[in-house]
């Protein structure tokens, strides 16, 4: 009897821990929390924690409290796989990541193979920012969903805007030397050749990812080329330091970007006095006239002091909750089936949908320029007094590009 009582006493805490685990839905957040990408990764982590708080305030997902589990990958594909295995071993069945398409490619392969080997224990990978087109084309997977527009979709929108800007004569391309940077430069060359064959590409530079500390030599090349405009997919410190070097040298060109709004970017733009000379293509920006997104923006800034850089993360978390409710299950395969083809009113307003064929989300895309706020827009960036102002909007159905995906489904 005494042995039975001791065994029961030992088992009770164990059962309590199991019950607690069952009441929690863990989402593994695999992104850089140290190294050159840490500033971007920390903002992403806090954004997802803010979104988890929003979901939990409404009762969680199917009654389970959402917990974001931070896992530092140092922007390294191999380290990302170690962190993914660690997450899975601890019971995580949903992973989200965004910074680095090289990481995204490695995670897609890893999770796809894991699911093939472990039927009934599947894991889903929610991609909120890695935009290499290959991820929803040749490397597409049932286990992978992307909420950001891929780089070809963004370049299509950006070059359509540039097509109507006759002052552009000479363009310089500068991008990070990995799969995403390669996709940006390749798409830019191809699309400009079709839409504006008169534009001269006077430079095409690649540099190491998150390793350059002084971009002065690169800026000197841009200056010497006579370019009037630059296209770059640089993000994180690679954009902020690039613009800082441009400001230090007095370079005055127009910048057409993917990620100018990232940490340090707005400050560098202001310091360079590039008023209305920096453009960004994105699925949203703070000053869109939409009551609910503006309220969210204000609440996020009040809590953390930074702006919402990832409207797509909001769409991801809210659609995840809807898909689980639709499936009446948190089993990844059932949630995936519910996400496929889902129509959704996006965070910034307008219609979006998750294409079943390749798990690419389509949504309205905006071109915005950064500069002095003159029309009482409520949000500036990084206390510069400058902010984002819309110059073009493309509805979701006008952003659709074909896919070569041949998806295998369970």
**Crossing angle of helices 311-327 and 332-339, rounded to 10°:** 110
pLDDT at 253 over 70: yes
316-352 confidence digits (pLDDT tens): 999 999 999 999 999 999 999 999 999 999 999 999 9
How far apart (Å, rounded) are the C-alpha atoms in residues 179 and 164? Answer: 29
- 248: Cβ contacts below 8 Å, ≥ 6 apart: 216, 219
Class level of CATH domain 2-149+293-362: alpha beta
Closest CA to 330 of 70, 30, 44, 27: 27
Within 272-381, residue ranges assigned H as helices are 291-304, 311-327, 332-339
How far apart (Å, rounded) are the C-alpha atoms in residues 2 and 6? Answer: 6
pLDDT for the residue 23: 86
pLDDT for the residue 47: 98
What are the sequence ranges of the domains in the chain? 2-149+293-362, 152-282
CB 284 within 8 A of CB 306: no
Q: What is the mean pLDDT of the chain?
A: 94
How far apart (Å, rounded) are the C-alpha atoms in residues 283 and 129? Answer: 11
Give the domain 152-282 fold.
Answer: Rossmann fold (3.40.50)
For 129-178, the DSSP string reads S---GGGGTTT--TTEEE-SPPHHHHHHHHHHHHHT-TT--EEEEEEESS
**Crossing angle of helices 311-327 and 38-57, rounded to 10°:** 40
Do the two domains 2-149+293-362 and 152-282 of this chain adopt the same fold? Answer: yes
pLDDT at 18 over 50: no
Residue percentage of the chain with pLDDT more than 90: 93
Pairing of strands 170-176, 200-207: parallel
216-229 confidence digits (pLDDT tens): 999 999 999 999 99
User: Is-above-0.85 flag for pTM?
Assistant: yes
């Amino acid at each position: 009897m005494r042995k039975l009582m001791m065994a029961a006493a030992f088992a009770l805490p164990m059962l309590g821990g199991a019950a607690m685990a069952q009441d929690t839905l863990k989402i593994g957040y695999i992104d850089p929390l140290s190294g050159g990408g840490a500033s971007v990764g920390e903002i992403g982590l806090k954004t997802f924690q803010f979104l988890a708080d929003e979901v939990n305030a409404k009762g969680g997902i199917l009654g389970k409290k959402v917990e974001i589990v931070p896992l530092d990958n140092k922007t390294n594909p191999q380290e990302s796989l170690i962190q993914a295995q660690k997450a899975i071993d601890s019971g995580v069945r949903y992973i989200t990541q965004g910074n680095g398409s090289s990481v995204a490619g490695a995670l897609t392969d890893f999770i796809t193979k894991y699911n093939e080997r472990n039927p009934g224990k599947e894991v889903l990978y929610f991609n909120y920012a890695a935009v290499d087109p290959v991820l929803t084309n040749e490397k597409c997977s049932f286990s992978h969903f992307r909420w950001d527009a891929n780089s070809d979709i963004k370049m299509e929108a950006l070059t359509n805007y540039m097509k109507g800007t006759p002052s552009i004569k000479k363009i310089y391309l500068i991008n990070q030397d990995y799969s995403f940077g390669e996709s940006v430069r390749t798409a830019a060359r191809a699309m400009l050749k079709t839409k504006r064959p008169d534009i001269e590409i006077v430079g095409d530079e690649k540099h190491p990812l998150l390793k350059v500390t002084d971009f002065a030599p690169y800026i000197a090349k841009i200056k010497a080329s006579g370019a009037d405009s630059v296209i770059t997919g640089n993000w994180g410190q690679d954009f902020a330091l690039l613009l800082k070097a441009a400001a230090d040298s007095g370079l005055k060109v127009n910048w057409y970007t993917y990620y100018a709004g990232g940490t340090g970017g707005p400050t560098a733009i202001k310091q360079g006095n590039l008023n209305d000379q920096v453009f960004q293509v994105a699925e949203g920006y703070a000053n869109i006239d939409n009551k609910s997104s503006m309220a969210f923006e204000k609440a996020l800034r009040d809590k953390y002091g930074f702006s919402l850089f990832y409207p797509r993360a909001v769409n991801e978390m809210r659609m995840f909750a809807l898909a689980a409710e639709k499936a009446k299950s948190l089993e990844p395969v059932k949630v995936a089936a519910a996400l496929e083809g889902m129509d959704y009113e996006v965070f910034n307003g307008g219609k979006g949908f998750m294409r079943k064929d390749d798990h690419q989300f389509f949504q309205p895309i905006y071109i915005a320029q950064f500069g002095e706020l003159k029309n009482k827009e409520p949000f500036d960036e990084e206390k510069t007094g400058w902010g984002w102002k819309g110059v073009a909007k493309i509805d979701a159905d006008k952003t659709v590009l074909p896919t070569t995906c041949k998806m295998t489904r369970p």
